Each structure stands twice: as C-alpha cells, then as structure tokens.
Structure 1
Amino acid sequence: MEADMAVMNSKKMDMTQGSLWDKILIFAIPLAASSILQQLFNSVDTAVVGRFASSQALAAVGSNSSLISLMINLFIGISLGSNVVIAHYIGQKSEDNIHAAVHTAILVAIISGFFVMILGQFIARPVLLLMGTPEDVIELAVLYLRIYLIGMPFIMLYDFGSSILRSMGDSKRPLYSLIAAGIINTALNLVLVIVFGLGVAGVAIATVISNVVSSGIVIYVLTHEAAPIKLDLRKLSISGGELKKILSIGLPAGIQGMMFSIANVCIQSTINSFGSSAIAGSAASLNFEFLRIFL
C-alpha cells in the first residue's frame, strides 16, 4: 500500500503547496496540447483522403468537421465537471467521496457514449441533410459519421478518464496516451487508404481504433492507480449526489464550449449549398489554417 501511494504521489501535483506559476505551466501545457491533438484527429483524416482519395471523399470528411468539433467540445466540457468535483474531494481528503465520484464518472461515460453511438446511427443522415450536404457527397459523409460514432464510448472514456487523472494534477499521462493514439491514427490512415483503398471508411476506422487505444491506456492507468483514485471496474455504480454535482458544473461548461462550434455548423451549412467542390476547398483551407495556428 505504501509503495502504491508513493507511485501515485510521484505522478500527482500538489497545487496547494509552494509557488503556483511553475505548477500552472507544467499542468496547463500538456492539457492544451491534448486538446489540440484531439481536435486534429479529424484534420489528419481530411489531409489523408484529400491527398490519396478523391475530392468527394475530402468533401465528405470536411462536411463532418464542424459537427464532430461540436460533439468533442460538449463532452470535454461535461467531463470537466468530474475533474472539478474529484479535485475538490482530493483537497478535502475525502476518500469515500473520491471513490464514488470516480466510479460515477466512468459509468456515466460508458452509458452516455453508447447512447450517442446508437442514437447517432439513426440521426446521422437527417442531420447531414439538414446541413445541406450535397447528393454526390451525402452517402460518403453518412458512412464516415456513422463509423466515427462507433468510437463515441471510447472518446467519452478518454475524456472522463483524463479528467480524473488531471484532478490530481496529472496532465502528462493523458497527453502521452493521445500522442500514441495520434501516431496510430496517422499510420492506419495511410495504410487503410493507400494500401487497401478504403477511402472515407478507412480514415473513420483508423480514428475509431486510435480512440480505443487512447481510452484503453487511460483506463489501464486508472485501474493500476493507488486508492482512493483507483478504478475498480467491478464496482462501477452511479451515485445520484455525485452525478448531480458533476452535471451542475459540466453541462454549463459543455454548452459554453459548443457555442463557437454551433456557429461553425451554420457556416458549414452555407458552404454546403455551393456544392462538393466548395466543401473540399473549404476543408483543405481549414486544415492549413489549423496547422498554421498550432504550429
């Protein structure tokens, strides 16, 4: 037990002791890098199909970018609720509440992820049609979105699992898991598109697999942490009190994160009205803009 506590203490950062400036930078830089990498997953898909598939494939992936960004921002915001609640309990040294909040957060991630995955299979086409996706692109766009949504449980697990780790000051291991997933995503994109010629389906499958990897690493880390942050998959349950606290913080944060993305969805709908060539051109230019800003 003492060895476990020593390992946990070596990974966590005590934000209540000493100077805050260095701790804020050490904590925030990996956090910002993780957000950038998660947003760039779709950009990698766009780049690969744009270079090695067709303009219709590029338009199909590009027409989903704003919609995917909206979902990611919503879930990152909601997962922030678990981060705040668990960090508060860690500061209070309330082990029972930490245990309840950790297992509530993970089970909520699993349930909500499967709910969005299943619901998305039915509403993918209506939503893309509502956005005015052109006829020569709609089938590929629906295919990409439906495959992408299969990975929603794993995206949710990564977001909530990472929030739990960050609640104890560990923002590095979530970044490392995302870097590993990003490398796998890029490699699989190239293999599935160039070697197997899967096009849109290939980049979507690669994204799902990379999400499985990132969430798997985070869950592995949590199941091997020391108590009280340790995750025991056999003890998953929802505490009504903890769920209420998580959602009271997370939902407003998620909705706030969605606002800019909603505007982008409206802009994308307008671009869609100009046809698939315009969508492909917009997707390529946005990819360049992302790289220019981040690099």
Structure 2
Amino acid sequence: MPITPQDREILRLAVPAFGALVAEPLFLLSDYAIVGHGLGTTAVGALGVAGTVLTTLVNLCVFLAYGTTASVARQTGAGHHERAMRHGVDGIWLALGIGAALIAVMWPLAPPVVDLFGAAPDQAEQAVTYLRISLLGTPGMLVVLAGTGVLRGLQDTVTPLVVAVGSFALNAVLNAWFVLGLDWGIAGSAWGTVLAQTLGATVYVAVVVKGARRLRVPLRPDPAGVRQAGTAGFALLVRTVCLRVVLVVAMVIATRMGQAELAAYAIATQVWTMLAFALDAIAIAGQAITGRALGAGDVEATRRATRRMVTWGVWSGAVLGLLVLAARPLLPGLFDADPQVTEQLLAVLWPVALFQPICGVVFVLDGVLIGAGDQRYLAWAGVWTTLAYLPAAALASGMDIVALWCALGVWMVARLVTLARRAAGSAWLVVGA
C-alpha cells in the first residue's frame, strides 16, 4: 500500500515504540534462554510461574503508562504543556507509591500465591525465590511505565526506545554473568532484571525532572493530582484485571497438564507476548495520535488515523504470523528444550501464528479507545470477553495445550467484536482538553 503523510506520522511514533515494546518481553525471553541452558526444565517452569505472577502485578498497573499517555497527549493537543507535565510528575509519584505497597503486600504472600499454580515442590521453591527478589524491582518497573507514558503523550517514542534497548542489553549481560558465571541459580536471573529495571527507571526520572524544571512545574507530589491519576486509572485497572484473569487461568491449566506442557506453554507465551508488544507499537501511536487530535478538537483526523492504523494492524499481524511459522523449527533449540518440550512447543506455535492478524486489529482499536479516554467501555468489554473465554478454557482443560491456545483465540475474537462495534460508533469521540 502507498505511504501517505498520515502513514509517516504513524510510523514516526510506531517504529521507535516497536523497538521499545519488543525489548520488554525480551527481558523474560533472555531469562528463559539463559535459565534453560544453565539450569534446565524445572527452572524454566519455575520461571514461568513466577514470571506470570510478576507480569500480572506490573500489568495491573499498566494504566500508569496508558492513562498518562492519553491525558498528556490530550493536554498537549490543547496547548496546555504545563498541565501535561504536571500529569507526568503525578504519575511518577503514584508509581513509586504503588511499587512500595506491592513489595510490602506480596513478600509474605509469595509462597501461597505460587502454590495456587500447583507446581511441583522443586519448581515452587525456585519460583518463590525468583518472585521475592524480583519484587524489589517493582518500583523501578512502575516508574518506567509512568515515564514512558509521559514521553509518549509528548509524542516522543525515541527516548523510551533508547532506554529499553539499554536496559535489555544490561539485563542479558547481568543474567548471563550471575546465572552462568557466578552460579547464583535462578536468584541470579532475578537480580539481573531488578538492577536493569531500576537503572532504566532512574533515566526516566531524570528526563521528567528536566522537563518539569524547564516548564517550571513543581516536583513535589500533589496529593490531589496523585489521587486523580489513581482514580482515573480505575477503569483501565478493571480492563487489565480481566486480561490477566484470562492469562493466569491459562497458565494454571497448563501447569496441571505436566512439566513438559508447562515449559512449552511458558515459552510459547513469551513468544506471543513479544508479538503482542510488536503489534502494540501501532496501538501506542494510536493512543498518542488519538489523544492529541481529540484534544485539538479534530474528529475527522481521528477517524482517518483509526482507519489507517487498522489497515496497518492487519498487515503487520499477517507478517508476524508468517515469521512465526518460518522460525518455528528453530525456536525449541533457542531454549535448549528437551524432546518432550519440543514436541509440545512445535504444536502450539501453529495457533500462535494463525491468530496474529486478529491480534493486530484488536491491539490497534484498544489503543485508539484508550487514547480517546474511553476507559469505562473498555472495562465493561473486558468483563464480557472474559466471560466468553472461561467456558472455552474449561473445555480445553481436559485436552492439550493446543486446545488451550484455541480457547485464547475465542477470547481474541470476542475482543475483536466488542472493540470494532465501539469504534464504528461516535460515543468515544469526545473533544477538548
């Protein structure tokens, strides 16, 4: 398809966002590769359980990025740059507070939470070790979310790319050193990720502080602003809880199928997550462009951008699906998978690939509606699509991980229907700051 000026605007935001988003799942993918080579299948399964818990905790707070992107972009479109930066500062303080609270709450709960997955005793012990150490990095992880949201709202996706690539490289080096060099076991993998994420958060804080000082925005926490940021993100929290319920239920079912099935499902999940983040790059552009356009009162530009980004989503999903199929024979070797895990992984990569075009449209429309501030609808849609998924998951629980992945496909189709129906209407096109 020919490249238009609108495409260039989308690509200006989406291409750097693609690099930054892909770097995020590469944190865990590099952990899986290093742990798989150095510690074996049991440790990979433990990492799958602990990684699911940790990812759930962080993703529940994704409103720190998405809500901040939407609010900052809308204020930027309306020309209120000081207000935009004030939203950013409040988001950073909220992230620090939530991170500290997660450490205090989850540290004593780590063993019973891991036990919910029904992992074998040796896997459970390693999972608790990884989870507890990783909790120390949650304030940094959440500050990264909030800082990324500020910069995206300001139409800057290049700086998050630089920080994400640097953090990933540092994480890979530290993990290899701690696990393979110093023989720290799974704890070494956790410490490497904590240090890399914390240093990345430090960079974001420095960037936001510099911008706030330039605009003479106070750096001290504003209780009203922090509270508003938290309450505004509640609907996005509900949406995210629904997403995580689906993925956690799937992980629990995979855990009870056996160690080989769990290891294969954990690896496939990381591949799917990396693809999801890649497709979400267009959604990030959608958040920033939609918020800015509606803040400036331009409904027609919002419509045109939405249609174009949906087209990009379909084609990107198709390309990624073909890439998965091409790389399918090579992926088990990257994780040093044993024959049983390899057999399971090769089977489940088929549905992972085939659902990518649907994922492309779903992620784009999700980003557009988040950018428009249509969080209440997204929360209710999340509830209904989760209810559509649960019977399919229950049916798959008595079968295999391919059936389990097809149940996830039912969920994605339900999301497609609810999001497309909303985008076709006009209730979400609210203009102004």
Task: Give the TM-score normalised by structure 2.
Answer: 0.58
Whether 2:105 is the aligned partner of 1:119: answer yes
Whether 2:148 is the aligned partner of 1:162: answer yes
Q: Of residues 57, 79, 86 in structure 2, which corresponds to 1:93? A: 79
Q: Which runs of 4+ in 1 moved over 6 A?
A: none
| Matched residue, 1:190 | 176
| Matched residue, 1:240 | 224
CA distance in 2, matches of 1:165, 1:61: 31
Q: Of residues 246, 255, 269 in structure 2, which corresponds to 1:272? A: 255
CA 1:115–1:97: 2 relative to 1, 3 Å: same
CA distance in 1, matches of 2:198, 2:254: 32
CA distance in 2, matches of 1:102, 1:290: 27
SS of equivalent to 2:22: helix
CA distance in 2, matches of 1:39, 1:20: 29
| Matched residue, 1:131 | 117
| Matched residue, 2:234 | 251
Q: Percent identity?
A: 23
| Matched residue, 2:394 | none
| Matched residue, 1:26 | 12
SS of equivalent to 1:224: helix
SS of equivalent to 2:211: coil
CA distance in 2, matches of 1:291, 1:241: 33
In the TM superposition, what is the alpha-carbon distance from 1:71 to its structure 2 partner?
2.8
CA distance in 2, matches of 1:260, 1:114: 24
SS of equivalent to 2:61: helix
Q: Of residues 189, 193, 202 in structure 2, which corresponds to 1:207? A: 193
CA distance in 2, matches of 1:152, 1:231: 26
Q: Of residues 23, 41, 44 in structure 1, which corresponds to 2:27? A: 41
CA 1:21–1:239: 2 relative to 1, 3 Å: farther
In the TM superposition, what is the alpha-carbon distance from 1:24 to its structure 2 partner?
1.7
Which AA in structure 2 matches 1:37? A
Unaligned stretches of 5+ in structure 1? Answer: 1-17
CA distance in 2, matches of 1:99, 1:285: 39
* Contact 1:148 1:208 (C-alpha < 8 Å) held by counterparts: yes
Q: Of residues 102, 105, 111 in structure 1, which corresponds to 2:88? A: 102
In the TM superposition, what is the alpha-carbon distance from 1:21 to its structure 2 partner?
2.9
CA 1:81–1:266: 2 relative to 1, 3 Å: same
| Matched residue, 1:149 | 135
Larger radius of gyration: 2
In the TM superposition, what is the alpha-carbon distance from 1:154 to its structure 2 partner?
0.2
SS of equivalent to 2:127: helix
SS of equivalent to 2:60: helix
* Contact 2:64 2:91 (C-alpha < 8 Å) held by counterparts: no
TM-superposition CA deviations, 1:258-278 (whole Å, max 9, x none):
433322211211222244444
Which AA in structure 1 matches 2:235? P
| Matched residue, 1:14 | none
In the TM superposition, what is the alpha-carbon distance from 1:145 to its structure 2 partner?
0.7
SS of equivalent to 1:64: helix
* Contact 1:78 1:254 (C-alpha < 8 Å) held by counterparts: no
In the TM superposition, what is the alpha-carbon distance from 1:290 to its structure 2 partner?
5.8
Which AA in structure 1 matches 2:38? F
Which shifted more, 177-186 or 127-136? 127-136
Q: Of residues 59, 70, 73 in structure 1, which corresponds to 2:45? A: 59
Aligned-residue CA RMSD in angstroms? 2.6
Which AA in structure 1 matches 2:183? G
Unaligned stretches of 5+ in structure 2? Answer: 276-319, 324-433
Which AA in structure 2 matches 1:236? R
Higher relative contact order (Cα pairs below 8 Å, separated by 6+ residues):
1
In the TM superposition, what is the alpha-carbon distance from 1:161 to its structure 2 partner?
0.8
CA distance in 2, matches of 1:171, 1:130: 38
